[in-house]
């Protein structure tokens, strides 16, 4: 479900967001043993952390960032050793890429698109004007304003989005030239343009425009949600293709919040708060906008963290259950990978929930096992001393900032799965024996996980007890071979052994479920089960792996 309480904040900080991605093949250890003290900076903390070991030649997508800024040297350090890239829109880093041919992969961010739509009255002369029928209008032809802002029409023509795409495309073409290399990934921050009806009745919202109502009636559809979804895909697709035309290349592209639906089916009103992903695929099931789903997974924002429920809906509400709902639905439509936007939390107000480092690592290992091939790390502190310390690399003392902890954990998880990429590319996530608990008003989906024996607890819901898992087990299998990748995560409680049955050929496996996750390769060799723990050091999972 779209997080409405964050939307206005994200809009206000969108121009400050900084994104970075790369596929780092550099393997190294810290250049020096960093001693942390009262004058240590965020970069000092990053350099003090053990670096991950990436598999040479891996093709995972580079990691990205979505936050309010880091210092130039911190971006470079992340690009050199942690699987992140170089944000060529930031701090003249395009010149760094050009000075080091072949070392970095570039990324560009499409942010602040809403300003084009807010410019309905031409108040910003620096922006190109959009066609008059871009916006929703009443029967007298007057633009309909809500809180002083216009609403983009579902029937808005492709021309409007091509104008915006050309605007960005020219900028990105110059960045491409400055960096001396193609842009690898483009991220569109989303949350602009045509938007779901939210608490509005869709027919009353969009149907008040006679042009839109006529277009809907002529569409042959009898469902406003389908109509809006098809048009959103058309509009965002037109914007993307205009950018690509300027670049004369096709970078990986992700529109934030394009997803089958983390919340889909959890409650009866889910369709008011999202677009229908199946209409973002063409007749050949090829994505029209994003290469892969791009949902959000923000710790205890729109979810209950790593465990918990919504008592009124009588279902688990944790982040992994939500992620697997998106994964399962996307797989049912022929899409096996995802590129999520994630965060372990941020210091925004007193009592702000922030995940422990080990359980966040465990969540990341399960997410990769489920089909993530990269991620965008979000963090939303955009003012005050902490932001200044991150942005300008000022002293923070001996406590590692949350953002630095998060970015290192993302890097370690990415590095681990660079060694296990075969199981992602050539394997399938196994459905498990149960259905996903989100079944209301939608099709039946498999849970995409395996129940560990005796690893549940019951919590009180509004109409009875709700059973939730206290350990999570996911598995992938290489197509046509007796080789499995199995991850066990103690999302509740301490590290412990759990028993689970994944395949009759394997019998019952005993796995060590750790708070930081445990990733196993399981093989059947001459009728005997061989089980190998890959990440023996849970928090430094590539410590004993070779590049």
In whole numbers, what is the pLDDT of the chain averaged over residues?
Answer: 93
In this prediction, residue 92 has a pLDDT band, given cuts at 50, 70 and 90, of very high
Beta strands at 106-110 and 145-146: parallel, antiparallel or unpaired: unpaired
Residue ranges of alpha helices (H) inside 468-543 are: none
- Smallest Cα–Cα separation from 254: which of 297, 299, 295? 295
**pLDDT over 50 (residue 49):** yes
pLDDT at position 23, please?
A: 31
pLDDT at position 313, please?
A: 87
Domains identified in the chain and CATH numbers: 4-427 (3.20.20)
**pLDDT over 60 (residue 261):** yes
Q: Which residue has the higher pLDDT, 21 or 338?
A: 338
* pLDDT tens per residue, range 439-493: 877 889 999 999 999 999 999 989 999 999 999 999 999 999 999 999 999 999 9
> How many Å apart are CA 390 and CA 407, to the nearest integer?
13
**pLDDT over 70 (residue 354):** yes
Percent of the chain scored above 70 by pLDDT?
94
Q: Would you call 55 helix, strand, or coil by DSSP?
A: coil
Q: Using an 8 Å Cβ cutoff, are 383 and 389 in contact?
A: no
Averaged pLDDT for residues 23-48: 72
Averaged pLDDT for residues 36-53: 97
pLDDT at position 34, please?
A: 66
Q: Give how far the C-alpha of residue 220 lies from the chain's centroid of Cα atoms, to the nearest Å.
A: 34
pLDDT at position 145, please?
A: 96
**pLDDT over 50 (residue 26):** no
User: What number of residues does the chain have?
Assistant: 547
Q: Give how far the C-alpha of residue 269 lies from the chain's centroid of Cα atoms, to the nearest Å.
A: 23
| Angle subtended by helix axes 402-418 and 72-81, to nearest 10 | 20
**pLDDT over 90 (residue 30):** no
* pLDDT tens per residue, range 398-420: 999 999 999 999 999 999 999 99
Region of 148 on the Ramachandran plot (φ > 0 left; ψ -120 to 50 alpha; else beta): left
Residue ranges of alpha helices (H) inside 352-474 are: 357-370, 384-392, 402-418, 421-425
> In which residue are the tokens 């759990």 written?
498
Q: Using an 8 Å Cβ cutoff, are 533 and 520 in contact?
A: yes
> How many Å apart are CA 353 and CA 278, to the nearest integer?
34
* pLDDT tens per residue, range 162-196: 999 999 999 999 999 999 999 999 999 999 999 99
**pLDDT over 90 (residue 6):** no
* pLDDT tens per residue, range 106-130: 998 999 999 999 999 999 999 999 9
For the chain, helix (H) and strand (E) counts, in that order, are 14, 21
pLDDT at position 12, please?
A: 35
In this prediction, residue 352 has a pLDDT band, given cuts at 50, 70 and 90, of confident
> How many Å apart are CA 67 and CA 76, to the nearest integer?
16
Q: Using an 8 Å Cβ cutoff, are 190 and 280 in contact?
A: no
Averaged pLDDT for residues 423-448: 94
Averaged pLDDT for residues 240-256: 96
């Amino acid at each position: 479900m779209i997080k409405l309480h964050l939307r206005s904040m994200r809009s206000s900080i969108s121009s400050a967001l900084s994104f970075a991605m790369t596929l780092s093949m550099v393997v190294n250890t810290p250049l020096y043993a960093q001693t942390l003290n009262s004058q240590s900076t965020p970069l000092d903390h990053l350099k003090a952390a053990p670096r991950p070991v990436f598999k040479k030649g891996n093709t995972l997508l580079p990691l990205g960032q979505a936050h309010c800024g880091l210092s130039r040297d911190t971006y470079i350090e992340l690009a050199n050793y942690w699987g992140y890239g170089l944000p060529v829109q930031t701090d003249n880093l395009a010149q760094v890429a050009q000075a080091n041919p072949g070392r970095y992969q570039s990324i560009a961010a499409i942010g602040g698109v809403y300003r084009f739509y807010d410019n309905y009255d031409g108040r910003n002369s620096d922006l190109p004007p959009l066609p008059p029928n871009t916006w929703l209008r009443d029967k007298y032809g007057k633009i309909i304003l809500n809180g002083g802002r216009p609403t983009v029409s579902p029937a808005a023509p492709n021309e409007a989005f091509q104008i915006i795409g050309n605007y960005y495309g020219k900028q990105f073409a110059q960045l491409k030239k400055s960096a001396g290399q193609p842009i690898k990934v483009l991220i569109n921050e989303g949350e602009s343009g045509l938007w779901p009806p939210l608490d509005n009745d869709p027919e009353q919202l969009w149907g008040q425009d006679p042009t839109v109502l006529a277009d809907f009636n002529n569409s042959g559809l009898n469902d406003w949600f389908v109509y809006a979804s098809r048009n959103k895909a058309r509009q965002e697709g037109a914007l993307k293709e205009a950018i690509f035309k300027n670049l004369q290349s096709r970078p990986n592209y992700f529109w934030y919040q394009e997803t089958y639906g983390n919340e889909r089916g959890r409650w009866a009103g889910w369709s008011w708060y999202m677009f229908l992903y199946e209409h973002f695929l063409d007749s050949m099931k090829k994505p029209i906008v994003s290469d892969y789903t791009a949902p959000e997974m923000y710790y205890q924002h729109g979810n209950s963290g790593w465990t918990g429920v919504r008592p009124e809906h009588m279902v688990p509400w944790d982040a992994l259950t939500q992620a697997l709902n998106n994964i399962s639905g996307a797989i049912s439509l022929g899409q096996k990978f995802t590129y999520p936007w994630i965060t372990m939390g941020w210091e925004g107000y007193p009592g702000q929930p922030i995940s422990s480092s080990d359980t966040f690592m465990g969540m990341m290992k399960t997410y990769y096992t489920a089909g993530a091939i990269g991620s965008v790390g979000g963090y939303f502190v955009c003012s005050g001393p902490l932001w200044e310390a991150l942005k300008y690399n000022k002293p923070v003392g001996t406590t590692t900032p949350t953002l630095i902890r998060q970015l290192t954990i993302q890097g370690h998880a990415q590095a681990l799965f660079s060694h296990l990429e075969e199981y992602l590319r050539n394997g399938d996530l196994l459905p498990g024996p149960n259905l996903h608990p989100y079944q209301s008003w939608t099709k039946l989906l498999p849970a995409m996980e395996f129940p560990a024996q005796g690893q549940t607890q019951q919590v009180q819901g509004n109409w009875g007890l709700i059973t939730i898992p206290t350990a999570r087990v996911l598995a992938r299998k290489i197509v046509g071979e007796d080789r499995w990748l199995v991850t066990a995560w103690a999302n509740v409680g301490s590290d412990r052994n759990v028993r689970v049955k994944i395949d009759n050929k394997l019998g019952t496996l005993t796995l060590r479920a750790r708070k930081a996750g445990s990733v196993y390769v399981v093989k059947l060799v001459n009728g005997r089960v061989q089980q190998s723990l890959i990440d023996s050091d849970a928090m430094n999972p590539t410590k004993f792996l070779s590049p």
